[in-house]
Every structure is written in structure tokens, then in C-alpha cells.
Chains A and B, each alone.
Chain A
Amino acid sequence: MMESKKTKNLFLNALLLVVVVGLLWWAPENLDGYKIQILNLIAIYSILGLSLNLIYGFTGMFSLGTAGFMCIGAYVSSLLILPEMQKDMIFILEPLNPILYGAHAPFVVAVLAGGVAAAIAGLIIGIPVLRLGGDYLGIATLGFAEIIRVVANNIPTITNGALGLKGIPAYANLWWNYGWMFFTLYVMYRLVNSNFGNALKAIRDDELAAKAMGINTFKYRVISFTVGSFFAGIGGALMASLLTTIDPKMFMVIMTYNVLMVVVAGGLGSLSGSVIGAVVVTVLLEWLRFVENPITLGSFEIPGVPGMRMVIFALSLIMIILYRPEGVMGNKELSWEGLFGLGKGGKDHE
């Protein structure tokens, strides 16, 4: 019975993969650039959501540093893929550091380097800051992200200061983004369903009890934070190449809030929830643009209100937390049994 279920799941997973790959073939030919951009953003927000969910949803560490790690990943990877000619063109006020000027790497290496740089930053900040608990950690990581941004704004020989980097090669297409997304999903799935993941969940649920059970909670927290930072860096690197232009302003706290919204909407402690959250948030953010355009209802004309989009977005965040704090998925995972209504809902992360 168990075996057949496993084979069936494997089969359905393979089928899903085939469908997604087929969709990725089909999309560039048949969809317009705007829709493809949204699909790309969904993949990147999924990676970012998964990264924050590991730190916050599974380990219970309230971190508000996502934007800072993204910033590091974005700059490191962009500097590695920018052609020298483009570097000459954008660094006009102050020349680029010669070491960075000559540095080049293929896209996949550049993105990895962005992730590794963010992970190292995560380790360095994590060791001192993770001694703090709860809210202090949130404020300290928020502060760290803000420091990164201020520094990026003030080292023109590396980051080109407030002008940012332009003309970053647009390598991040659907294939790369969804490839990285599935890689992230796979790593996260293996992580949280291992002994390591059980330790994380124990720390989340009751740190003192976990400590009493002999778990080195500090070590686990640092590793979880570092891995989460790695994927935030990857997300930042992909986003830089997707948008082809970055500047320090892009990585303000609002970026972290968007990712937080993905996690909260999808469900804390649910991997599939993060992906669903990414779809909901990205589509909502785009779809809400209609409120800023004039609407004609019969003979009435409602003028568009600029800025209204973010008001509604903020309201939805409050509504979700007030009326459905567990998000779409809670801490459950989407599963085939749940989908077909065979089992008792999704698999629980307990």
C-alpha cells in the first residue's frame, strides 16, 4: 500500500514537472512580455519566500533582513556578469575598482557567487545577532539590511553609489528562474524533512525544551539563518538580471515587506505555501494597477487614484493577519492526496 502510494506520488510529481517544462516551452512564444515578466517574478518571489520561510516559518527567527541579503547577491552577481564595455559606460563619476573591473563569470557562477556572498554576510551577522531573541532579532536584522543599503550608496568605486548599475545582461529568463526555484524547493524540502529540519521545528516551538533535549540550538539557528541568507542572495542576483538595473533604493525595507507578505499569505512553515504566496502577491500587486487607472462604469467615470494600489496591498496584509493569520496553507503542505481529496488534507509539518 505504502509502496504504491509512493510510486503514484513519484509519477504525479514527474507529470507535474513535465507540465511545467511544457509551459516554459510554450510561454515565450505565446505570451506577451508583461505576462512573462510576471511569471519570472513569481519564481523569484518564491525563492525569496522560501528563504524567509526557512528562517522564520521553520526556525521561528523573526528576520527583517531579506532586502540586505538580496542587495549583496544582486551587486556581487551583477558585477560578475557586466561586460567591461558596460562597466566603462556606467562608472563615470568614479572608476570601478580594477580587481572588479577584470572579474567575469558565467551567469550560473555569478548567481552562485551572489548567494555565497550573502551567506557569508549572513554568517557574520548571524553569529553575534542570533544570541538575541524575538523582536530584537527583527530590529537588528532590519538595521543590518539598512546598513548594507547605506554602504552600497556610499562606495562608488564598487557599487557606483546612488546611480546604481545599468545594462546588466538579461540572462535571467524563465528557464533560469524556474530552474533555481526548483533547486531551492528541492533543497528546502530535503532540509525541513530531515533530522535537521526536526531540530529547527523543535527550536521554533520551544527553544528551551529543545535545548534541554541536547540540541545545540545556537548552531542550528546560525546554519538556518546562513542557508536562508544564501537563497535571499540568489533571489537578489536573479532579480538584478531580470530587471537589468539595480540601485540601492531598490533594496529598501519595502522589499522585505513584500517577501514577508509572500510568507504570511502563503503560510508560515509551508514550502508549497510560499510558492502559492508568491503567486498571490505578485499577481495581486500587478492586478491592483487597475485601481490607479480611470474606470468607466456606464456613464460614470471614476478617476484613477495614484498610489491607491499600495493602500489596498497594505489593507490586504492587515486583513490576512486579522482574519486568516495562518495564510492559505497554514503549516500544511500541498499533497496529491490532499488535492484529490483522498487523504485528510495536506501533510502536516509537526
Chain B
Amino acid sequence: MTGQMFVQHFFNALTLGSLYALIAIGYTMVYGILRLINFAHGEIFMLGAYFIFYTGSLFNLPWVVGAVISIVLCALCGIMVDKVAYKPLRDAPRISALISSIGMSFLIQNLAIVVFSGIPKPVVRPDFFVKIMVIKGVRILPLAVIVPVVCFVLVLGLLFIVYKTKPGLAMRAISKDIETTRLMGVSVNRIIALTFGLGSALAAASGIMWALRYPQIQPLMGFMPGIKAFIAAVVGGIGSIHGAVIGGLILGFVEIMTVAFFPELSGFKDAFAFILLIVILLAKPTGLMGEKIEEKV
């Protein structure tokens, strides 16, 4: 493999890893607060891609406006999902909420098939994203630079919200002890809704960029990235935002580099993430950045 090839693969891996990281953050935030795997998160990602497609093709809105609308709509969808499927089950056994989230994921997927039709749609990309630049013989899509940068900015923004603002403080408090936080006069349900909104907005951002990078969208496109991003969150240590970013990047690199170095394995591409997951769980059950979980007696 030449150096130029390696640089190209490096940028591909960085792009894919950033996209995984953005979805993984949503999982990790919800899991940190509710101890719930939100299986419907991958579907929000898919909706993000569809909304940008429709704002562009139906209403001919400028691309940036479409992206903002898509992110806002997805945040609302995320909050709706929480209201409908999880809020009534706050006091039920955790497994009920998990099954409810599987049902929700299933529901959104099939609604999408009914509403958007199951036929894959090609996404039209603005020229400046895909005009290939050649730098010292390395051919790079502008997207491969834009995506990691946008991802970095979004994560910084999120970290600011979580660590420097009052609602962020409440979020961190809830993840430690929901009951005590409620007693302190925090409107827990509102903070949880905010968490779902923020996580879904990031998933939407990821979905939009995914649609630009791999310009074909279909209703089941959220499933695989969703599951892989969850794996990224677990690998990084679920509950930790830094962990989600690190996990996402690791996953992106593992996936791209294995195929780059061993092209004969490309058929097994989708299995790498799961093998990585099982290896990490066995070596370090709480993930790379995870906190120790004490067993309650």
C-alpha cells in the first residue's frame, strides 16, 4: 500500500468514525440517564437523511436551511419517541422500556416504508462537497475534511452544554441519582426530553452528512449504523461522551482499515464491529472510558 492510498483511507476512516461518533453520543447520553438502550435512535438518524432529501427535492430550499429544519424536526421526533414509548414506563422494569424501544424502532422503520416507499432514493449533492481535490497526488473529497470538522464543532458545543450550563448540570446529576435530583426540585422529565432532543439532533446531523457521503437513502438505512454506533458507545464506555467519540473513531478505523489491508475480507465488513465489541466486553466489560459499576447487594 502506498502512502497516498493510506492517506485516502485515513480520511475515509476519519469520516466514517466521526459519523459513528455523532450517533454514539445519543446512545450514551440516553443510556447514562435512563439506563436504556434506545433502539429507535438509528431510525432518527434515517429520518434526518430523509428530511434533508425532501426539503431539497420538494421545497427546493437552500441546503443549509434544509439541514437546520431537518435537525430541528429530528430533535422533536426524538422527544416524541420518549413521550410516547418511554415516559409511561419510567417506573416499569427496565426490560419493558427496552422492548418498547425495539417496538418503536420497528414502527418508525415501517412507517418510513409506508410514507417514503421502500425504494432507495438518490441524493443530489451540492457540487462543493464532491469536487475532488488533489493534494500531492492524494485525491480527497472536501466532505472528508468537512465531516470531521463539523463533528468536532458539534461535540465541543455539546460538551459546553453538558459541563458549563445549568441544564447540563441537571443532566449529570440525573445520571448519578435520578430520585435525589428530583427531590432537589429539578424538572426531571424536561431534562430527559432535552437529552433526547440533543441526542437526536446529533443523530440527524450524522444522517445528513451520511446521505452526502453515501448518496443513497432507504428506510432501513438506520439499522446498521445505529447498531454499530451503539457498539461504539459500549466500546468507549457507555455513559461517557468522550468515550462515545473515541469508540466511534476506533470503529471507523477498524472497519475501513481492515478492508483496506485485507480486501478479501470485505464481505465480512459488517462483522468486524461485533467482533470488536465482544473482544472489548470480555477484556474490559465497562468499555475503555467506562466507570466501574458496583454491584448493589
> A residues near B, CB below 8 A?
62, 128-129, 131-132, 134-136, 138-140, 142-144, 146-147, 150-151, 153-154, 208, 253-254, 257, 260, 264, 305-308, 310-311, 313-315, 317-318, 321-322, 325
Contacts and interface: CB of A to CB of B under 8 A. Distances in A.
B275 A307 contact: no
Interface in B266-297: 267-268, 270-271, 273-275, 277-278, 281-282, 285, 295, 297
B103 A314 contact: yes
Given A143-B231, A311-B111, A317-B99, A131 B285 contact: yes
A314 B107 contact: yes
Contacts of B227: 139, 142-143, 146
Interface residues of B, number: 44
B88 interface: yes
B267 A154 contact: yes
Contacts of B281: 129, 132, 136, 140
A139 B37 contact: yes
A140 B277 contact: yes
A317 B103 CA distance: 6
Contacts of B230: 139
A128 B267 contact: no
Contacts of B100: 318, 321-322
Given A150-B268, A310-B113, A311-B107, A318 B85 contact: yes
B135 interface: no
A264 B96 CA distance: 9
Contact of B113 (A129, A139, A142, A307): A307
A156 to B, nearest CB: 10
Contacts of A153: 267
Interface string B229-242: 01100100000000
A264 B231 contact: no
Given A129-B281, A314-B106, 7 more contacts: A136-B281, A253-B223, A307-B118, A311-B107, A317-B102, A318-B85, A321-B89
Contacts of B94: 134-135
B268 A305 contact: no
Contact of B98 (A62, A254, A305): A62
A62 B95 contact: yes
A191 B150 CA distance: 56
Contacts of B35: 135
B41 to A, nearest CB: 13
A325 B96 contact: yes
Nearest to B100: A321
Nearest to B110: A310
B96 to A, nearest CB: 5
A260 B102 contact: yes
Interface in B76-97: 84-85, 88-89, 92-96
B182 to A, nearest CB: 22
Nearest to B114: A307
B204 interface: no
A146 B273 CA distance: 10
A146 B111 contact: no
Contacts of B268: 150-151, 154
Given A146-B270, A260-B102, A208 B114 contact: no
5 contacts: A136-B281, A139-B37, A260-B102, A307-B113, A322-B89
Contacts of B110: 307, 310-311, 313-314
B69 to A, nearest CB: 25
B271 A150 contact: yes
A139 B231 contact: yes
Interface in B188-214: none
Nearest to B276: A143
B295 A208 contact: yes
Contacts of A325: 92-93, 96
B104 interface: yes
Contacts of B89: 321-322
A305 B85 CA distance: 25
B278 A128 contact: yes
A306 B231 CA distance: 33
A321 B295 contact: no
Contact of A317 (B88, B95, B106, B297): B106
A308 B37 CA distance: 26
A311 B234 CA distance: 30
Identify the interface centre among B88, B93, B114: most chain A CB within 10 Å of its CB: B114
B282 A128 contact: yes
A308 B114 contact: yes
A144 B103 CA distance: 21
A311 B114 contact: yes
